[in-house]
Structure 1
Amino acid sequence: MDAQPEEPVRRRLTRAETKARTRALLLDAAARTFARKGFTGASVEEIAEAAGFSTGALYSNFSSKEALFLELLSDRRRDRLAAAAQALDSHGAGTAEAVTELGRLLVNVADKDIEFAALQAEFWLYAIRNPQVMGALADSARESHQALEGLVAAAMARRGAPERVSAQAVATVVAALFIGLVRQRRVDPDCVSEELFGQALNWLFTGINAEDADGD
């Protein structure tokens, strides 16, 4: 009788890998549950059940429902920043190609992430009524703001922007511009074209350099 082929031995996950897998499943379940019931309507029990875990497993990974939502929000920020960084690395800041890619990024966020936009608005109102949650929201945003600041600083250096101009301040303006244009496109798509965000960034950086020239 021919020998049967041995089944491949499955490697046991390390503790860190198991924890990462559990967190990923909880985040996926949270995204689905929040989308279906809203932030305030969803419970930690429903999220844990949807992920196939106990509430104890949820709380061992996330301190609260708010912390779970903030992690989802951070994931989306990281994805957007990674896409922006790829566009700048591939084409170079200020090029027509980079402007086009950044414009597409804004349009994709505005047009294809409507469900999460409603959740963000709900969570914003919840945070306004709960100052400790607003503090956690601010803390969560700082990581992505620092990453954006790095992209802005690199773009400013490539464009020869004056050193006295704060990359942190410019990053704040860029973030506000992105958020504002996303919201405006959702209200009135015709007034925010695919090219507008990239063009606005060019106007911003051109103005920074022009101010330095006037000072000379």
Structure 2
Amino acid sequence: MSKSQLKEAALPLFAEQGYEGTALSEIAKAVGIKTPSIYAHFASKEALFMEIYRDVMKHELVMLDEVVKETHSTVREALHAFFYKVTDFNVDPQVKRFFQRAIFFPPQALAKQMREEMTTYEALTSQSIGAILVQTLDKAQQENWIYVFYCLLDGLSLEHEIYSKEDFEKRRDAAWSALEALLA
């Protein structure tokens, strides 16, 4: 039994049931071990959860970096690709759901630490977006665009769970149109 196998088993459980709703015994059962064996790899349930949280943030940052490094003929095209990549909740759905749950409903005991780490993650994400925006917008406009982007991203992450695929796509396209208008 490896650390990575434990994380692979725990991620969908945390994603679907949340931190509080997931028992270490469920994770152990999913990988075919007894609960105390988990402690050979993780000091606590909190340590396991936080390692998955950090892995998910790294995964998202790598994905965003790939989009930024892609060749695009215009700033709009680059931002369009970035926006649609970030709001594609069908790619790695368990990872996305884990991240959403962790951000919107962090475990109380870990909330402060998670917010601090989220601040770092968001700063790195903002740098990625800023690397694209710097070509067309001044500093204040960049900041405003990024704030609107985050608000729309948060809303779309919830709407993805509520609306049909068709309705979600309409809302995502409308959100993109609003962001695109800020580039003019």
TM-score, reference length from structure 1: 0.61
Alpha carbons of 1:97 and 1:143: their partners in 2 closer, same or farther (altered >3 Å)?
closer
Which stretch shows the higher mean deviation, 28-37 or 109-118? 109-118
Q: Does 1:162 align with 2:162?
A: no
After TM superposition, give the deviation of residue 47 of structure 1 in Å: 2.6
Structure-2 residue corresponding to 1:204: 182
1:117-169 Cα distance to aligned partner (Å, 9 max, x none): 38844884463xx3x4220220231232121121122122122x223x28667
Structure-2 residue corresponding to 1:42: 22
Q: What CA distance in whole angstroms lies between the structure 2 residues aligned with 1:59 and 1:30?
A: 12
1:35-64 Cα distance to aligned partner (Å, 9 max, x none): 57553232234434544581321334xxx3
After TM superposition, give the deviation of residue 89 of structure 1 in Å: 2.3
Opposite residue 59 of structure 1, the aligned amino acid is F
Q: Does 1:99 align with 2:80?
A: yes
Structure-2 residue corresponding to 1:86: 66
Of residues 179, 184, 192, the one that matches 2:154 is 179
Structure-1 residue corresponding to 2:42: 59
Uncovered stretches (5+) of structure 2, i.e. residues with no partner: none
The structure with higher relative contact order (CA 8 Å, sep 6+) is 2
2:138 match: secondary structure: coil
2:75 match: secondary structure: coil
Contact 1:39 1:123 in 2 (8 A): no
Contact 2:28 2:38 in 1 (8 A): yes
After TM superposition, give the deviation of residue 28 of structure 1 in Å: 0.8
Uncovered stretches (5+) of structure 1, i.e. residues with no partner: 1-20, 207-216
Opposite residue 102 of structure 1, the aligned amino acid is F
Structure label with greater radius of gyration: 1
Alpha carbons of 1:25 and 1:203: their partners in 2 closer, same or farther (altered >3 Å)?
same
Contact 2:100 2:157 in 1 (8 A): no
Alignment root-mean-square deviation, CA: 3.7
Contact 1:145 1:172 in 2 (8 A): no
After TM superposition, give the deviation of residue 114 of structure 1 in Å: 6.7
After TM superposition, give the deviation of residue 183 of structure 1 in Å: 1.4
Pairs within 5 Å for 1:107-122: 108-109=88-89, 113=93, 117=97, 120-121=100-101
After TM superposition, give the deviation of residue 27 of structure 1 in Å: 1.1
Q: What CA distance in whole angstroms lies between the structure 2 residues aligned with 1:180 and 1:42?
A: 26
Identity %: 18
Pairs within 5 Å for 1:120-135: 120-121=100-101, 124-125=104-105, 127=107, 130=108, 132-135=109-112
Alpha carbons of 1:68 and 1:205: their partners in 2 closer, same or farther (altered >3 Å)?
farther
1:46-88 Cα distance to aligned partner (Å, 9 max, x none): 434544581321334xxx3234234333433333333333223
Structure-2 residue corresponding to 1:14: none
Alpha carbons of 1:24 and 1:119: their partners in 2 closer, same or farther (altered >3 Å)?
same
Alpha carbons of 1:143 and 1:154: their partners in 2 closer, same or farther (altered >3 Å)?
same
Q: What CA distance in whole angstroms lies between the structure 1 residues aligned with 2:173 and 2:81?
A: 6
After TM superposition, give the deviation of residue 30 of structure 1 in Å: 1.1
Opposite residue 137 of structure 1, the aligned amino acid is M
